[in-house]
Amino acid sequence: MKMHFEMKSDGQLMSERGLNTGGRVQRFIDQECIRLMDPYTPRRQGNLIKAATLGTKIGSGVIVQAAPQARYLYYGKLMVSKETGSAFASHGESKVLANPEKDLEYYDGANPKAGKLWFERMKEDHKESILAGARKLAAGGHR
């Protein structure tokens, strides 16, 4: 008895399920993370959430919030001028952590959940729903 079978490559199988880089599953995850981060992201004019939408290549698996204040607000620690100790610094002047360290206070009128480490906090609250949606897409469903 002679048997013959063909098997698809790992790459073909991954691509068919939308699990390849830039595939529908990764695009879904990126879009959901940006959407679900919104209520956790500090906002005055909404620049940070806009920065995530504009700075991220959907499907890359990397969310980029390309705004000058993003890192400062994300970690939520007061930074001050080396020269004056003021929270305001001259253009080009470096800042250091305040001594003693002090957490930033976030205005929460527009976003009651706003605060530091917004991606991590969003993930804590929504990880399972994001993964459930990704599993559904990978299994051939639509979202």
Instruction: Give tens-digit pLDDT for 81-118.
Output: 988 889 888 888 888 999 999 999 988 777 889 999 99
Predicted structure pTM score? 0.82
Matching residue, tokens 């879009």: 31
Q: Which tokens sit at 80?
A: 């001050």
How many whole angstroms separate alpha carbon 59 and alpha carbon 36? 16
| CA 117 – CA 114 distance, rounded (Å) | 9
Query: What pLDDT digit, counting tens, does each position of 48-91 carry?
Result: 889 999 999 999 999 999 998 899 999 999 999 988 889 888 88
